[in-house]
């Protein structure tokens, strides 16, 4: 663990630290914005499930407010046009997500506990598991949930902090989240902050 803690401390003191802080500020700002903007971020997190963050960002920019208006066939055609891997199934999820439009901010305000809020999202947003729900909440300013992506798991395995599971069950997800919580405490970072640094270590990029 010592080597990863040293690496995290060095990154925090480097220009990467400023980039991470700026990204966290953007997340907070988004969480205080309109229902529509928050819904569009929810759509982004549906897009990136089993897909790259960079690809999701590109498609989010291309479709824009179409996430609010396109019907399922139109959405599938747009996703296919932009090279998305699962155009039909994901179009259905994106259109179905509109049933929550107008209800997201009230739902967010009704929970004090982030893990309970995540559980509500898992239970109510079709296509959201723990990872997608954590990703969405992190991207709108929440700080206490881990985005347990296999890139992150591979890094934990390299540092002998955890073993890569064959499948990501909810139980295993929470165990890995606990491992990241311990690392975050040692590093003096929130899980939101830690995720951005770990992602940078693995990919050389600070995305969302």
Rg of the chain over CA atoms, in angstroms?
17
Q: How far is CA 113 from CA 102, 109, 145, in A?
A: 21, 10, 11
Q: Give the pLDDT confidence of 75-132 residue by residue, as tens digits.
A: 999 999 999 989 999 999 999 999 999 999 999 999 999 999 999 999 999 999 999 9
Spatial CB neighbours of 72, under 8 Å, sequence gap ≥ 6: 91, 92, 95
Q: Is the pLDDT of residue 190 over 80?
A: yes
Q: How many residues are present in the chain?
A: 208
Q: Is the pLDDT of residue 1 over 80?
A: no
pLDDT at 150: 86
CATH architecture of 34-139: Orthogonal Bundle (1.10)
Does 195 participate in catalysis according to the annotation? no
According to CATH, the topology of domain 2-27+146-203 is Endonuclease Iii, domain 2 (1.10.1670)
pLDDT at 202: 87
The SS3 assignment for 82 reads: coil
Among 97, 138, 132, 139, residue whose Cα is nearest residue 114 = 138
pLDDT at 206: 92
- CA–CA separation, 164 and 95 (whole Å): 34
What's the pTM value of the predicted model, to 2 decimals?
0.94
Tell me if domain 2-27+146-203 and domain 34-139 are identical in fold: no
pLDDT at 50: 87
Q: Is the pLDDT of residue 70 over 90?
A: yes
Q: Is the pLDDT of residue 42 over 80?
A: yes
Tokens 């997340």 map to which residue?
27
The SS3 assignment for 128 reads: coil
Q: Is the pLDDT of residue 144 over 90?
A: yes
* pLDDT over 70, % of the chain: 100
Band of pLDDT at residue 158, cut at 50, 70 and 90: confident
pLDDT at 159: 84
- Which residue in the list 12, 103, 105, 131 is annotated as catalytic? 131
Domain ranges of the chain: 2-27+146-203, 34-139
Q: Is the pLDDT of residue 2 over 80?
A: no
Q: Is the pLDDT of residue 27 over 80?
A: yes
- CA–CA separation, 97 and 172 (whole Å): 27
Average pLDDT of the chain is 95
- Which residue in the list 37, 149, 154, 186 is annotated as catalytic? 149
- CA–CA separation, 55 and 181 (whole Å): 28
Q: Give the pLDDT confidence of 51-69 residue by residue, as tens digits.
A: 988 999 999 999 999 999 9
Does 65 participate in catalysis according to the annotation? no
């Amino acid at each position: 663990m010592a080597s990863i803690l040293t690496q995290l401390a060095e990154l925090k003191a480097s220009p990467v630290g400023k980039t991470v802080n700026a990204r966290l500020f953007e997340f907070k700002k988004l969480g205080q914005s309109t229902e529509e903007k928050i819904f569009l971020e929810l759509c982004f997190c549906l897009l990136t499930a089993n897909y790259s963050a960079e690809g999701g960002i590109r498609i989010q920019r291309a479709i824009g407010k179409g996430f609010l208006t396109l019907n399922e066939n139109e959405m599938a055609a747009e996703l296919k046009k932009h090279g998305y891997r699962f155009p039909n199934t994901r179009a259905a999820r994106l259109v179905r997500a509109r049933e929550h439009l107008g209800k997201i901010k009230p739902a967010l305000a009704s929970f004090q506990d982030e893990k309970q809020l995540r559980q509500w999202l898992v239970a109510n947003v079709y296509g959201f598991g723990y990872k997608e729900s954590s990703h969405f909440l992190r991207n709108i300013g929440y700080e206490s949930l881990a985005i347990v992506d296999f890139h992150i798991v591979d890094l934990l395995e390299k540092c002998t902090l955890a073993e890569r599971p064959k499948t990501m069950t909810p139980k295993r997800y929470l165990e890995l989240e606990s491992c990241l919580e311990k690392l975050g405490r040692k590093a003096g970072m929130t899980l939101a902050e830690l995720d951005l640094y770990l992602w940078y270590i693995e990919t050389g990029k600070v995305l969302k």
